[in-house]
């Protein structure tokens, strides 16, 4: 594909980069006349279908931190994903460079990334392929993440559930590690150099860079080295919050230690024609700072010109600018306070006033063109150079200690000032709240002043006079009448209490009588058997082996519901003798506890043969209460003597034909006394 190729309504302009599974191009939407970014891939590639599906799902995620997906399509053997163009942005990789970023800027960027990825996670989507190259920083400081779900689909990464949450959290932590150290700790490709590794993973950021906050260092160590840490991007964001919403200025970069920085030689003699006194002082401070950082001052004599090698100032001392965009004038510079002109002036005066700071003397040979100096002269020059270097080192140590002390003092004063300002602000807020509460008035109250007129009277003036004797007597008569009526109705009601109840049965007698759970109707209550019906707690079909253990159990409660018209029936069989598959079938009622049984009354809709047994377990044998054969309607069975048992089983040993051509037995009601 070449510039000028048209894909649908998009005209391709320039290729931005190659990515796994495709290419990213800058393009123009000719319909809406706007710039877009196209991710172009072969339509027949294995990963294309998954990438297009991921793009369609990612298009529904609304988050300010994610690059918006505008369109998905295919044409002429190519498929494409149209994204918002972020033309003025630089990648996180470019912003990091080789020196890393300030810790609080890393906190801001990774916090924004985690917020956007967490919004996608709430919709069931994951990134799974986070790298510094896919994080964009716009000129006004906004953070944008490319490749939500699509980058992983093109790379063939398939992870779901909690494992995907953990992978995205690890990716965000890896971005923080990269910003702090300038190296990439994961195996996936990146534009940054790979971090060094030992047996447990990359070293903690605090061992590689300076100024790393404790929370970021701990999260990086636990996640990348110990396999713990945050479980999701949202968990990471909660642990590092709060962060600034705008790019930070005035913070120190977390650059590696200056011990590995190269040195350069500067003359120790007179200043240049354009050097100002403040700049000269700054140079002296640089000498002290370099010696304090561990660099050695080395003096050399070459051609009679003595020079001193001074370590380059590391980013621990002087920070460089962070260019967040390509637009003119949109540049954020992060500079330490003492590197401003006023700071350099103060530092130079301190260096000049410090007695321990010594200017290195420089002696040039009067005859600079002579090459025939004696051996004695060369040894003298070398000794002088060595002495100068020793003096410079000693002065640097003294000056470095003074500068360090000054900075610590300033930091303590600044912290104290901020604390006092915070206390003052809190007091001011409390006073403002109290003043506001004092000035508010209740919604139900109104100010009373002399200007408010008294309300007009609602009753005539004579209404306030005391009642006459006649009026008082009338009120007393009415009240007495109401009391008399209340007593009359109360007496009538009290005389009728208990008129419909058998108080003798309720209050008298010590014997315990079982109460039936249903009213007796029809023939079930007309039996001449003695005693009250016993309560039935439950009922179930009884079908022992070789049966299946159940026999229309859902219909079993009908045998004690008090209605003989509702019946329980057996299953349908092929003959009167159960088709030869079993000896019989029945139904068992549960009395709740062992009872003394004197009679059992059955309501039989059919003339099936049945035997009634009582016992402590459902059974088709044991103590027999009675049997019936060829009888229908109400049948009362009485044992020759009282029997005891909790369960009463009606066991049918023959069946009668039913309307559907099958053979069944039925029971309408059972009453146990």
Summarised one tens digit per residue, pLDDT across range 57-105 is: 999 999 999 999 999 999 989 999 999 999 789 999 999 998 889 999 9
Q: What is the pLDDT of residues 288-334, one digit of tens each?
A: 333 333 333 333 333 434 333 333 443 443 344 444 444 444 344 44
Type and span of the H or E element at 434: helix 375-439
**Residue 461: HSE in the Cβ half-sphere, 13 Å Cα cutoff:** 0
Lookup: tokens for 443: 């919604």
Q: How confident is the model at residue 46 (pLDDT cuts 50, 70, 90)?
A: very high
Give the mean model confidence (pLDDT) for residues 394-400: 44
Best CA proximity match to 353, nearest among 253, 428, 285 = 285
Best CA proximity match to 177, nearest among 135, 205, 143 = 205
Give the contacts of 539 (CB within 8 A, at least 6 positions apart).
556, 557, 559, 560, 568, 587, 588, 589, 590
Question: According to the model, what pLDDT value does residue 406 have?
Answer: 55
Q: How far is CA 578 from the centre of its chain?
A: 65
d(CA 423, CA 412): 17
Give the contacts of 207 (CB within 8 A, at least 6 positions apart).
none
Q: How confident is the model at residue 218 (pLDDT cuts 50, 70, 90)?
A: very high
SS3 category, 386? helix
Helices (H), 321-374: 341-353
DSSP 8-state class, residue 604: E
List C-alpha distances in Å: 154 to 11, 49, 54, 201. 23, 9, 10, 27
Q: What is the pLDDT of residues 152-194, one digit of tens each?
A: 999 999 999 999 999 999 999 999 999 999 999 999 999 999 9
Q: Which residue has the higher pLDDT, 134 or 632?
A: 134
Answer whether 202's CB lies under 8 Å from 265's CB: no
Q: Which residue has the higher pLDDT, 602 or 386?
A: 602
SS3 category, 470? helix
d(CA 79, CA 230): 37
Q: What is the pLDDT of residues 465-479, one digit of tens each?
A: 777 888 888 999 999
Question: According to the model, what pLDDT value does residue 337 have?
Answer: 41
Answer whether 161's CB lies under 8 Å from 177's CB: no
Question: According to the model, what pLDDT value does residue 662 have?
Answer: 87
Q: What is the pLDDT of residues 351-380, one digit of tens each?
A: 444 443 333 333 343 344 344 444 444 544
Q: What percent of the chain has pLDDT over 90?
A: 38
Q: Which residue has the tokens 């790979």?
A: 194
d(CA 598, CA 472): 75
Domains of the chain, start order = 1-256 (1.10.510.10), 259-323+338-362+379-413 (no CATH), 522-672 (2.60.120.260)
In this model, does residue 521 exceed pLDDT 50?
Answer: no
Q: Mean pLDDT in the chain?
A: 74
Q: What is the pLDDT of residues 182-191, one digit of tens each?
A: 999 999 999 9
In this model, does residue 599 exceed pLDDT 50?
Answer: yes
Give the mean model confidence (pLDDT) for residues 210-234: 93
Answer whether 141's CB lies under 8 Å from 198's CB: no
SS3 category, 335? coil
Type and span of the H or E element at 477: helix 469-495
In this model, does residue 382 exceed pLDDT 90?
Answer: no
Cis peptide before 242 (omega within 30 of 0): yes
Question: According to the model, what pLDDT value does residue 522 have?
Answer: 39
Q: What is the pLDDT of residues 317-326, one digit of tens each?
A: 334 444 444 4
Q: What is the dihedral of CA 201, 207, 209, 214, to 10 degrees?
A: 90
Give the mean model confidence (pLDDT) for residues 258-277: 38
Q: How far is CA 372 from the centre of its chain?
A: 81
Q: Which residue has the higher pLDDT, 409 or 449?
A: 409
The backbone torsions φ and ψ at residue 146, rounded to the nearest 5 degrees and listed phi first, read -95, 160
Strand-pair partners of 136: 91, 144
Q: Is the full-model pTM beyond 0.85? A: no
Question: According to the model, what pLDDT value does residue 433 have?
Answer: 66
In this model, does residue 413 exceed pLDDT 50?
Answer: yes
**Residue 48: HSE in the Cβ half-sphere, 13 Å Cα cutoff:** 18
Strands (E), 103-180: 135-137, 143-145
Q: What percent of the chain has pLDDT over 70?
A: 64
Lookup: tokens for 593: 């506890």
Q: How confident is the model at residue 511 (pLDDT cuts 50, 70, 90)?
A: very low
d(CA 610, CA 249): 100
d(CA 609, CA 524): 20
Strands 34-42 vs 69-75: parallel, antiparallel or unpaired: unpaired
d(CA 68, CA 144): 9
Q: Which residue has the tokens 């998905």?
A: 72
Burial class (CB in 10 A: 0-12, 13-18, 19+), 513: exposed
Strand order, beta sheet including 90-91: 90-91, 135-137, 143-145
């Amino acid at each position: 594909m070449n510039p000028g190729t048209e894909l649908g309504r998009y005209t391709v302009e320039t290729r931005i980069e190659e990515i796994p599974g495709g290419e990213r191009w800058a393009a123009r939407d000719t319909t809406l006349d706007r710039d877009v970014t196209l991710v172009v891939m072969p339509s027949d590639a294995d990963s294309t279908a998954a990438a297009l599906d991921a793009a369609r799902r990612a298009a529904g995620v609304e988050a300010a931190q994610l690059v918006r997906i505008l369109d998905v399509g295919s044409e002429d053997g190519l498929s494409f994903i149209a994204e918002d163009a972020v033309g003025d942005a630089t990648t996180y990789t470019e912003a990091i460079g080789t020196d890393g970023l300030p810790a609080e800027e890393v906190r801001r960027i990774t916090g924004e990334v985690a917020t956007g990825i967490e919004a996608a996670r709430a919709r069931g989507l994951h990134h799974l392929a986070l790298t510094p190259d896919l994080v964009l920083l716009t000129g006004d400081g906004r953070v944008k993440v490319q490749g939500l779900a699509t980058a992983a689909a093109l790379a063939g990464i398939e992870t779901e559930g909690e494992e995907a949450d953990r992978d995205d959290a690890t990716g965000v932590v890896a971005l923080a590690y990269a910003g702090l150290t300038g190296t990439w700790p994961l195996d996936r490709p990146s534009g940054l150099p790979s971090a060094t590794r030992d047996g447990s993973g990359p070293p903690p950021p605090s061992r590689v860079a300076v100024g790393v906050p404790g929370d970021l260092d701990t999260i990086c160590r636990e996640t990348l080295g110990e396999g713990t840490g945050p479980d999701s991007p949202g968990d990471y964001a909660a642990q590092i919050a709060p962060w600034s919403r705008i790019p930070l200025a005035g913070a120190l970069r977390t650059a590696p230690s200056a011990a590995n920085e190269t040195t350069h030689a500067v003359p120790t003699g007179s200043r240049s024609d354009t050097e100002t006194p403040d700049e000269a002082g700054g140079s002296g401070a640089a000498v002290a700072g370099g010696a304090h950082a561990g660099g050695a001052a080395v003096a050399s004599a070459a051609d009679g010109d003595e020079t001193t090698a001074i370590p380059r100032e590391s980013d621990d001392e002087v920070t460089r600018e962070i260019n967040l965009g390509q637009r003119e004038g949109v540049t954020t510079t992060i500079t330490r306070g003492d590197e401003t002109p006023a700071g350099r002036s103060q530092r130079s005066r301190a260096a000049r006033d410090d007695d321990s700071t010594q200017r290195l003397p420089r002696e040039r040979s009067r005859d600079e063109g002579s090459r025939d100096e004696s051996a004695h002269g060369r040894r003298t020059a070398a000794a002088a150079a060595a002495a100068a270097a020793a003096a410079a080192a000693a002065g640097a140590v003294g000056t470095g200690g003074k500068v360090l002390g000054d900075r610590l003092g300033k930091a303590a004063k600044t912290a104290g000032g901020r604390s006092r300002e915070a206390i003052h602000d809190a007091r001011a807020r409390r006073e403002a709240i109290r003043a506001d509460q004092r000035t508010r008035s209740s919604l139900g109250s109104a100010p009373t002043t002399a200007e408010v007129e008294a309300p007009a009277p609602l009753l005539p003036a004579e209404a306030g006079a005391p009642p006459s004797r006649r009026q008082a007597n009338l009120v007393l008569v009415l009240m007495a009448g109401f009391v008399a009526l209340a007593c009359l109705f109360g007496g009538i009601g009290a005389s009728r209490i208990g008129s419909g109840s058998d108080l003798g049965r309720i209050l008298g007698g010590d014997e315990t009588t079982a109460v039936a759970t249903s009213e007796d109707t029809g023939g079930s209550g007309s039996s001449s058997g003695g005693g009250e019906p016993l309560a039935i707690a439950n009922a179930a079909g009884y079908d022992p082996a070789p049966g299946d253990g159940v026999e229309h159990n859902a219909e079993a409660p009908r045998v004690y519901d008090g209605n003989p018209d509702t019946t329980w029936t057996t299953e349908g069989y092929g003959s009167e003798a159960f088709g030869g598959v079993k000896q019989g079938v029945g139904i068992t009622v549960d009395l709740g506890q062992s009872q003394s049984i004197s009679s059992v009354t059955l309501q039989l809709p059919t003339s099936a043969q049945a035997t009634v047994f009582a016992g402590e377990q459902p059974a088709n044998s044991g103590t027999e209460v009675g049997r019936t054969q060829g009888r229908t309607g109400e049948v009362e069975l009485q044992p020759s003597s009282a029997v005891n048992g909790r369960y009463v089983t009606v066991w049918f040993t023959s069946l009668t034909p039913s309307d559907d051509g099958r053979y069944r037995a039925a029971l309408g009601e059972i009453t146990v006394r």
